[in-house]
Amino acid sequence: MIAFEELLAVAYRNERMQSRRLAKGAAMSEHAALVSVLQKAAGEQSLRDFVADRRAAQIRHADALRAREVRRAQRGKPREIAAETPGWRGWFDGSALPNPGRLGIGGVLVGPDGETVEIGIAAGMGDSSAAEYLALVAVLEAAARAGATDVVIHGDSRVVIDDVSAPQGEGIRSLAHHAARVRALIAQIGDVRLQWIPRARNVRADALSRAAFSPARASVEAA
């Protein structure tokens, strides 16, 4: 059976919501419910081929966005960055090696005066969604420590961003404790906006999450 995290990564938001309602109403596991919803969407196509096609489409979309930004830069036009605000800005990303496996979390927090906090640490064991959530928590905690009251935080995980904004009781049950921590931190800070960006525009946070797996960093953390 295809891993739950792999299915989550390619499912559209409405499909994830349908699967949660199905799991709740039919007393099914979230994994089985999502398989059922995606199999219906796949029609006569095998689920594995359907997932592969969705993943390929995501990659093509990210490549197209990257190419568009390259063309814009070559024309000499300023890059459009949605995070340009007078307040604090953040980026988060999480990695699992393998998935599930060891977790690495990365984050960047930039203040209105240019002050910067970078996060790149190992975070135990789990799956990629847990890693993404833990990375978001780490950035929010850094913002709270810095006294930020207005933050725009970017990430390339639709699963996490959609889950945080899901109505009460409609989130992913296995991630509920992470969502609760995120909501508590948002309430503490005040004005926090989560915004999805393609992976191509989340390079620094991604690199920091992967750097957490390096032997040098592991030896420092163990010291």
d(CA 39, CA 26): 17
Question: Strand order of the sheet with strand 116-126?
Answer: 116-126, 101-110, 88-97, 150-155, 191-196
Q: Note whether 3 and 30 are within 8 A (CB).
A: no
In three-state secondary structure terms, 106 is strand
CATH code for the domain defined by 88-222: 3.30.420.10
pTM assigned to the model: 0.72
d(CA 49, CA 28): 24
Domain boundaries, the chain: 4-74, 88-222
In three-state secondary structure terms, 88 is strand
- Which range, of 4-13, 30-39, 58-67, 212-221, averages the lowest pLDDT? 212-221
d(CA 168, CA 32): 22
List pLDDT tens digits, range 102-157. Answer: 999 999 999 999 999 999 999 999 999 999 999 999 999 999 999 999 999 999 99
List pLDDT tens digits, range 154-198. Answer: 999 989 999 998 887 778 888 999 999 999 999 999 999 999 998
